[in-house]
């Protein structure tokens, strides 16, 4: 099954990723990144817990856990049962709303994202353990910054803040045994598994 057709199921953790359509950038200024997050906050918290994210100039990575059947709102159900298409539509709404605003701002037309965002279920602890630093280290591997804390468009810095957050930081920090373990995980060599994950594109 192609990973842009994998269903989004209640209670399952997923790696969500999408890329600009063609050679354009999704984000051209700091305001674009902020606006995307505003649209994300509008549509996603009701249906999923967000663990981490990283917004890169031409692609995005997000790790989420879809809420349980009982937690999902009625608009994500058909005949009282969770419906993958309805859940996927919420992510589609984020991309569509952002594209419309971006097109208006940049005086452009047409699709901005590759149609049908990709997603991969996080099926084991080893994948989750590698995935979290992989997402945050995108900007480091791309040579935009030397440390993930220096990239302002990811969730990394939030994990070292005591301010309220819409991220489910508790789940992630507990998995790594706290902030020290979380930080240590981001210092591991990343090249081999980074290239493996990039092959998914």
pLDDT digits (tens, 9 = 90+) for 91-104: 999 999 999 999 99
Domain ranges across the chain = 13-198
Q: Indicate the pLDDT class of residue 187, thresholds 50, 70 and 90.
A: confident
Q: For the residues 113-142, what does the mean pLDDT come to?
A: 93
CB distance 63 to 53 below 8 Å: yes
Q: For the residues 163-175, what does the mean pLDDT come to?
A: 96
CA nearest 193: which of 141, 158, 154, 125? 141
pLDDT in tens, 60-94: 999 999 999 999 999 999 999 999 999 999 999 99
Average pLDDT, the chain: 91
Q: How far lies 33's CA from each of 22, 27, 153, 169, in Å? A: 19, 6, 7, 21
24 phi, psi to nearest 5 deg: -75, 165
Q: Indicate the pLDDT class of residue 201, thresholds 50, 70 and 90.
A: very low
CA–CA dist 179, 59 (Å, integer): 27
Q: Indicate the pLDDT class of residue 190, thresholds 50, 70 and 90.
A: low
The predicted pLDDT at position 5 comes to 83
CA nearest 88: which of 43, 134, 31? 43
Q: What is the CATH number of domain 13-198?
A: 3.30.70.1290
pLDDT in tens, 19-64: 999 889 999 999 999 999 999 999 999 999 999 999 999 999 999 9
0.85 surpassed by pTM:
yes
Q: Indicate the pLDDT class of residue 115, thresholds 50, 70 and 90.
A: confident
The predicted pLDDT at position 136 comes to 95
């Amino acid at each position: 099954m192609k990973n842009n057709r994998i269903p989004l199921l209640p209670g399952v953790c997923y790696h969500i990723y999408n890329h600009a359509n063609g050679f354009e950038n999704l984000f051209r200024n700091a305001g674009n990144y902020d606006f995307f997050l505003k649209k994300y906050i509008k549509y996603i918290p009701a249906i999923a817990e967000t663990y981490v994210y990283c917004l890169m100039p031409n692609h995005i990575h997000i790790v989420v856990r879809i809420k349980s059947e009982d937690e999902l709102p009625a608009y994500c159900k058909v005949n009282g049962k969770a419906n993958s298409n309805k859940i996927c539509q919420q992510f589609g709404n984020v991309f569509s709303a952002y594209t419309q605003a971006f097109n208006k701002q940049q005086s452009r037309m047409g699709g901005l994202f590759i149609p049908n965002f990709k997603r991969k279920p996080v099926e084991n602890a080893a994948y989750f353990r590698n995935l979290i630093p992989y997402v945050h280290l995108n900007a480091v591997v791309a040579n935009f910054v030397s440390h993930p804390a220096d990239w302002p468009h990811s969730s990394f810095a939030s994990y070292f803040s005591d301010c309220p957050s819409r991220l489910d930081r508790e789940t992630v920090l507990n998995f790594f045994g706290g902030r020290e373990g979380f930080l240590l995980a981001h210092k591991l060599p990343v090249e081999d598994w980074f290239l493996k994950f990039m092959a998914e594109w």
